[in-house]
Structures are given as C-alpha cells and as structure tokens.
Amino acid sequence: ALRNRLGEPQGMVRLTMASAALSLTDAALWRATLWALLVAIALAVGIGLGLSTLVRRPLRRLAEAARAIAAGGRVERLDVRRQDELGELAAAFNTMGEQIARQLRENAEAYARLDEAYLETVTALAAAMEAKDHYTADHAASLAGMALAIGRRLGLGEEELRELNYAAILHDIGKIGVPGRILNKPGPLDTEEFAVMAQHTVIGEQIIENMEHLRPVARIVRSAHERYD
C-alpha cells in the first residue's frame, strides 16, 4: 500500500511470482538448510571427540596412577599443565600422593622399629632358654643359619625368611616349661620323661601365639619335630 504524507492510501503495488519458481526456491532453501545442519553436526562431533580425547587422556593417567597406589606401587607425580578443573584434580592427586608416600615411609620405619623390638624379644627368649639349656642356644643359632640358606635357595620372600629365622631361633623355646631334671638328665629318658619332653613344641606354640607379630611362627614351632617323610 502506498500512502501520502498524511497517511492516506494512494495506490497498491502487487508482486506476483510463478508457483514453480517459488517451489524451486523452497527446495533450494531446504537443501541449503540440510547441508548446513550436516556440517554443523559433523563439526560438533569432531569437536566433541577432540575434547573427549583431551579429557580422557589425563583421566586415564589419573586412574592408572590411582590403581598403582592401590596395588602398593610407587607413588608418581602427575604432570600438571592445565589450568582447568582437570588441572586442579591432578594437583590434588599429587598432594594426596605425597601424603600417601610420606605415610608409607613412616609406616615402613615404624614397622622396622617394631620388627627390631620383636627381634630383641626373640633374642631375650633365646637367652632365657640358653640359661637353662646351653645346648639349645648353639643348636638354634646353627639351625637358623641352615634354615635361611635353604629358604633362600627355595626362593622364599623376605617375610617368609623372617618368619623362618624366628622359628629356627625359637623352635625349642618350649623347653622353658620342661623341668630341669628332665631337660639336663645325663642318661636316656624313660617313657614318662620322654612324654614330658615331647610337650615342649606345644608349650612353645602356646608361648609364641600370644605375640601377634610372631603368631605365624607358632605353627612352625609346633611342627618342629614332625617327620613328614
């Protein structure tokens, strides 16, 4: 509608177009829209995969480091280069790893001190046995040397060798409960005396099983005179 300055209608302009031309225009518009949509989807997928890879890689390293700590492996620091939430997570993990490593060192030192204390206890028990039976002390020392040599040849671990050493030193500790007249009798033991002497492995087991740190050794002491062959 054409109007004058006063807003009064002065005439009408009408534009006409063939319907075929309009259909072609609509089809071209739909094709352009579809291609634009496909390109946008492809770009979104590509960007998403790229971002996913950037996120997955540090998360995978974080998971591997956490599994290594859980398995008792060495605590390694993660290389923190990002300034986003993943970077903060890696930095927090490094802090946690340092605390765990420090705790592991402290625990190892405490365990070493505890093991040393128990070794002193074992030595004191062996000394008590030596005061009662001089043969036992020398015998235990030589037996421990032979047992450890065989244990190393068999490929035993450090923990097994430690228990084996304690068991060799303490295998006759139950003789503390055997009367001196039987223990140091110069001649052969009679049946009743032998039965009393045979109880020293059971007595030794009862003494040692009350010590939590040495409890695994008790069953070895109990079986010291068994002949499995």
Q: Which residues are catalytic?
A: 175
**129 in Cβ contact with 137 (< 8 Å):** yes
Spatial separation of the C-alpha atoms in residues 27 and 5, rounded to whole Å: 41
- Compute the Cα dihedral for 149, 110, 69, 212 and give only its sign: positive
Would you state the structure tokens that stand for residue 118, as one six-digit string? 């128990």
User: How far separated are the first and last CA of the chain, in Å rounded?
Assistant: 119
**Residues whose CB is less than 8 angstroms from the CB of residue 229 and which lie 6 or more positions away in sequence, other chains included:** none
